[in-house]
Copies of this chain bind each other. A is one copy, B any other.
């Protein structure tokens, strides 16, 4: 029997208890031993629940119990999660977490301790909820140099963009709807501003490079400025708009960004809709691959957490595990990165065409029926800095969206 402790009995914690109970038999068979939840650490009590007798309020109880081999951190947030996880690893316990903030901020330190103590620090559920992505990147793409990871990594914003695409709704209405049916939180900042996706792409970039990525260095824009009109233009080109979190490597270095992008219908991420997440990967040998699934939710996320518990409990002494060092990954300055931009501009195309053509090296003009007081265009490829400088001179720009080629 392997004793484990769960820290945090919120949505994911409840899910973990449920998965371990519902699939008890097959999990026991796979691990080769029973998994027993000995403690559930939470500030609250949970009378009349399956865990009522396991609830503890004092972290030291589980820390000092040598029977506890695996600790599951599903509290979220940086503290006290960081202190607790650190102490568990130092005490020689395996730790499984779904906490992206923790992994993005302190991953390198925690891997270091885990290595020293010869225990595992696993975090599959921190990115993409139930989508198997961390482990496949390490064990299935082990023959490849990963040249690109581009993900739809936030379910809330993808639900919103999908609604805006299919229903022509505007941002404010869609946000309200998402909040009403529980897909967006009362304070949606972390989702709609891209901060959540940013931490996730930082983690994925660290996994494939083995170096620490400072997520604060990743240029991050949310979806708050995307309008129903932007979506109308996208549709005229059979494109859509998605919040992408992406890291790409080429001869110039590694560029990373979180921002809304216009996407061609042929791109595998184009048809990833609603609250689904997906991670597109390009390996230098494998070529294109994509992992798709439910990026959040009690059971999908818990499924990933329990798969990590199984790995920890299975007890292989030598495994290929995701980790990175404290060495910082150098990211290219976003200003240097060359892109094509979609630009919407107030005014009549006939009057502005020649000046706009010259300034932005327009590759194509776009128009939407009914939007007579404006027009739009795709620029030629130029650096972000060049675009920004030029855009400053044109006060009549209504919106600008990057284009994923």
Q: List chain A positions with a Cβ less than 8 A from chain B.
A: 18-19, 22-23, 26-27, 30, 124, 130-132, 135-136, 139-145, 268, 270-271, 276, 283-294, 297, 299-300, 302-307, 309-311, 314-320
Contacts and interface: CB of A to CB of B under 8 A. Distances in A.
Given A136-B132, A268-B292, A318-B317, A142 B310 contact: yes
B306 A285 contact: yes
A144 B142 CA distance: 25
A343 to B, nearest CB: 29
28 contacts: A22-B284, A23-B144, A23-B284, A23-B285, A26-B145, A27-B143, A130-B283, A130-B285, A130-B289, A132-B136, A132-B141, A139-B139, A139-B307, A142-B311, A143-B304, A143-B309, A268-B271, A283-B303, A285-B300, A286-B303, A287-B294, A289-B292, A290-B290, A291-B291, A311-B320, A316-B318, A316-B320, A317-B317
A143 B292 contact: no
Q: How many copies does the complex hold?
A: 2
A142 B303 CA distance: 8
Contacts of A317: 316-318
Contacts of A132: 136, 140-141, 289
Contacts of A276: 288
Contact of A285 (B145, B302, B318, B320): B302
Given A135-B136, A286-B300, 17 more contacts: A27-B143, A30-B320, A130-B287, A136-B136, A136-B140, A139-B139, A140-B304, A143-B303, A143-B306, A143-B309, A143-B310, A144-B307, A268-B292, A270-B271, A271-B271, A283-B303, A287-B294
